[in-house]
Amino acid sequence: MADSSRVVSFIDIGTNSIHILVVRFFKDSMGTTIFQDKETVRLGQHLFRHGFIDRETIEKTRIVISNFVRISKDLGAEEVIAYATCAAREASNRKELLDAMKVEGVDVKIISGLEEARLIRLGVFGPDGPRQKALEIDIGGGSTEVSLCHDGEDLFLDSLSLGAVRLAYEPGQDHDGAMTPVDYDFLRRQVERMSHRMCRRVREIGFERAYGSSGTMIALAKMCAAKRDGDSSYMMYYELVELMKELYSKDIEGRKEVLGMNPARSDIIVSGGAIAEELMYLLDIDRIEISENGLKQGMEIDYLLTKGHTNFNVRESSVLNLANRCRYDRIHAETVQRNALLLFDEMKRQSVHDMGDEMRMLLSSASLLHDIGEFISYPKHNFYSYIIILNSFLPGFDNEELRTMALLTKFHHKNFPGRDSKQFADMDDEEISGILMCAMMLKIADILDRHRNSSVDAVGVSVSPGAVTIRLESESDISMEIWKLKTTEDDFKTVFGLDLRILRA
């Protein structure tokens, strides 16, 4: 786009909720979110029981969209892009719904289930990912979208007539009362019947990792996490099985008391959970990663692609957007990044480590973000940087990559961890070694610009038997930097098995 700054609003009109995402696009950037919100309207509640959307719900939808459009324009939006999904696709009175939604000149487009699946995949992984063959499951109110993709290529897309609102409000369903195991098993058999062709095809193609998105998946993961350690970035199958036993055995009021439960979902959580549990069972998924992104983020990326932005770096843009929002010190961050990558490259060239481009990219990103926690608290900025990155859901990065970056920033300041740190409890030796080595490089790079004045003019690295020597060139007094670097010598030897020597050229 020729315009250096442009605001665009994206509205996702779903079967359960209407979402809005307002984005400011800067040159060479994927954009920064300046507003997002949602309103639960339940377009599917009357639809799936009676075959049409009632007038009261249509009017509520009109009011919500009208308000979202007004907010968009108040924020400077030059375009409002609105897509409607399953409920609008299936309603016998969809023309009445569309007419009501055409407020302020906004033309709402009804998209197909396969297009919805494609856009969700874009939102979760970005245009270039994932790097491993990945399965993505999005459980909506009226439909469940499934995508199987690798390196930005869609290997398989499907849209199933399964949704949390649909199963809860179809004729004959009692969403308020407690269920017996037989009742719940009936729900799961419905899921099996509607998904067997999709599951067969997915098994034929195969996948390496599984991801889940949508309000249902996020809600289930939060409840599982509340019983574990609070980390809702993933969900285990065995955890979901135990959770569902607890949920379906309670009535709607009892479900509201379950730890981590969103009361607004208490009437549809059992039906949504049945879909998640059965699909994880049928596809042999032990662990599913949870993404906060979905259709509206896919609309954002698709907008960029339609404007000709095929060469932008999703990861780099995501990192820079987060850094700018946290008001980072750009010059210092870029200096640290440059020195950290110099250490990485020189130590690899001289066979100190054999880490690949993936870890180099994560170190580069962590270097730019290592101090973003300062806008909360300087004394604990490394901890707050860790928290921000871990919960940032940056487009282009999966949960494990975000965790690696978060740990690198956490360890760059103050005490350095040992291999037995609880942070590494579920990692193998190779992962732990990579994080410790890159964290040490980041720590050294940060110390080299300790006073944020770029006083070190040049850095050289050489390796001799038993030692790594870092030579510093400077026309300034860098005594304090050298003193601080010497405090890392013991940790450096523990991590690399080599002595660290600091020389001033």
Q: What is the 3-state secondary structure (H, E, C) of 403-440?
A: HHHHHHHHHCCCCCCCCCCHHHCCCCHHHHHHHHHHHH
pLDDT score for 55: 95
In eight-state DSSP terms, residue 112 is P
Pair of tokens at residue 273: 């959970």
Helix 113-125 to helix 295-306 angle (10° resolution) is 90
Q: What span, in angstroms and rounded, lies between the C-alpha atoms of 448 and 444?
A: 6
CB 7 within 8 A of CB 76: yes
Query: CB atoms < 10 A from the CB of 420, how many?
Result: 9
Q: What span, in angstroms and rounded, lies between the C-alpha atoms of 334 and 43?
A: 48
Helices (H) and strands (E) in the chain, counts: 20, 14
Which among 245, 247, 257 has a CA at the least distance from the CA of 175? Answer: 247
pLDDT score for 311: 62
Q: What span, in angstroms and rounded, lies between the C-alpha atoms of 49 and 15?
A: 13
Pair of tokens at residue 86: 């399953």
Element (H, E) at 302: helix 295-306
pLDDT score for 1: 40
Name every residue whose Cβ is closer than 8 Å to that of residue 318 and which is 6 or more positions away in sequence: 30, 394, 395, 396, 397
Q: What span, in angstroms and rounded, lies between the C-alpha atoms of 61 and 80?
A: 16
pLDDT score for 160: 97
Letter for the amino acid at 23?
V
Pair of tokens at residue 295: 């259709």
CB 85 within 8 A of CB 120: no
CB 335 within 8 A of CB 380: no
Q: What span, in angstroms and rounded, lies between the C-alpha atoms of 182 and 98?
A: 40
CB 277 within 8 A of CB 220: no
**Exposed, middle or buried by CB within 10 Å (0-12, 13-18, 19+), for 81?**
buried
In eight-state DSSP terms, residue 143 is -
pLDDT per residue as tens, the chain (505 positions): 444 578 999 999 999 999 999 998 876 667 788 899 999 999 999 999 999 999 999 999 999 999 999 999 999 999 999 999 999 999 999 999 999 988 767 889 999 999 999 999 999 988 877 888 999 999 999 999 999 999 888 999 999 999 999 999 988 777 789 999 999 999 999 999 999 999 999 999 999 999 999 999 999 999 999 999 888 999 999 999 999 999 999 999 999 999 999 999 999 999 999 999 999 999 999 999 999 999 999 999 999 888 877 666 778 888 988 888 888 999 999 999 999 999 999 999 999 999 999 999 999 999 999 999 998 988 899 999 999 999 887 877 888 899 999 999 999 988 899 998 888 888 999 999 999 999 999 999 999 998 888 888 999 999 999 999 999 998 888 989 999 999 999 999 999 999 999 998 7
- Backbone φ and ψ for 326, nearest 5 degrees, come out as -90, 5
Query: CB atoms < 10 A from the CB of 218, how many?
Result: 19
pLDDT score for 248: 95
Pair of tokens at residue 29: 């950037």
Q: Computed over its alpha carbons, how large is the radius of gyration of the chain?
A: 25
Q: How many residues does the chain have?
A: 505
Q: What span, in angstroms and rounded, lies between the C-alpha atoms of 482 and 192?
A: 65
pLDDT score for 175: 79
Q: What span, in angstroms and rounded, lies between the C-alpha atoms of 134 and 146?
A: 11
Domains observed in the chain: 5-111 (3.30.420.40), 114-294 (3.30.420.150), 314-504 (1.10.3210.10)
